[in-house]
Amino acid sequence: MKEFVKNNLQSKYCLGSATGNTFFLALEQRPERIDYRAILHRFDLDSALFVNLEGEENAHLFFRMSVWERDGSQSAFCGNGSRAIARLLDMTLGNTHRYSLLVDSGKIALNSHAKGYSFSCSIPRVEESLHLENHLFYLIYALGEPHLVTLDPLTDAELTSIGKKVNKLKLFAHTVNLNTISIAGPHLIANKTYERGVERITSACGSGSLSAYAVAKHLSQIANTAVIENRGGAIWIDTEGENATMAGQAHIYSV
C-alpha cells in the first residue's frame, strides 16, 4: 500500500472548482516554490491550495492543506477547496484509501457523496454580535476562518464596500470575510460572501455557507438538513448533534 501511494502521489498541478469557487491546486508542492499569485491573476482564480501528505495509518491518509489568496495572504481554511481536494485525491489514488485533512482543531474527513464530494466537521458557534455601518453582524469562526454574517439585504456594492472598509481599518486582529444571508425557510438559505484575500464577492464560499447555517441555527430558524444557495450553485448541509457534513459538486479541469 505504501508503494502504491509513493508511485501515485507525485507532484502535480491542476485547476479545479467547487460550487463555483475556482482554484489552482498543487499536490506535493510548497507555495514558496511557485508564483501562485501570477497563476491566480492570469486565470482569474479565487485561491491557491497546496496539499501535502503528512502521514498514513493503515489505509487512511492524512494531508495538510495551506490556502493562499490573490493578495498574497494566507487563510485558515477553505471549505469548497477541501471538496476540490477530495475530487483530486479520488482521481489520483481512487478508492483505495480514506482521506482526511489535518487542521488546528483536529481531522476533517473527506468523502465522495451522492451530491458530489463532502467534508465533515463540527458546527461553529456565534462568538458575538456587533453593529457595523448600521448593520447587525454575527461573528463566526468556521474552522478558524472568520466570518461576519448579516441578515440585512446588502447589494454587491454595499457588501464589498463594508468588507474593504472593515479590513482596511483593521477592526479585528485579522481580516474577515463578510456574508449577507436570507433565511428562506427551515431548509433553505441564500448566501453571498465577500472573501478576504480574494477581495471580491465569490461565486460560493464553503466556510461562508457553514457560517450562514450556524447563524440560522443560533436563531433557531433552520432544520437539521438545509441547502445553502450560492451564485455558483448549492451546498447541502446535513447535521447530527453538533456535527455537520457539507456536500456539493467539485471538478478538476486539468491534471
**For the chain, which residues make up each domain, given as ranges?**
2-121, 126-248
Model pLDDT, residue 95: 75
Model pLDDT, residue 1: 46
Check if the beta carbon of residue 210 is closer than 8 Å to that of residue 120. no
Model pLDDT, residue 211: 97
CA distance 142 to 68: 17
Residue partners of 249: CB distance under 8 A and separation at least 6? 18, 19, 115, 116, 117, 233
- Which tens digit of pLDDT belongs to each residue from 155-187? 999 999 999 999 998 888 789 999 999 999 999
Model pLDDT, residue 8: 56
> 56 — alpha (psi -120 to 50), left (phi > 0) or beta?
beta
The architecture that CATH gives domain 126-248 is Roll (3.10)
Check if the beta carbon of residue 85 is closer than 8 Å to that of residue 22. no
The structure's pTM equals 0.92
Mean pLDDT of the chain: 92
- Which tens digit of pLDDT belongs to each residue from 40-94? 999 999 999 999 998 888 888 999 999 999 999 999 999 999 999 999 999 888 7
Model pLDDT, residue 5: 52
Q: Which candidate, 243, 28, 255, 227, places its Cα nearest to that of 119?
A: 243
Model pLDDT, residue 84: 96
DSSP 8-state secondary structure symbol assigned to residue 30 = -
pLDDT of 7 over the 80 cut: no
User: Same CATH fold, 126-248 and 2-121?
Assistant: yes
Domain 2-121 has CATH 3.10.310.10: yes
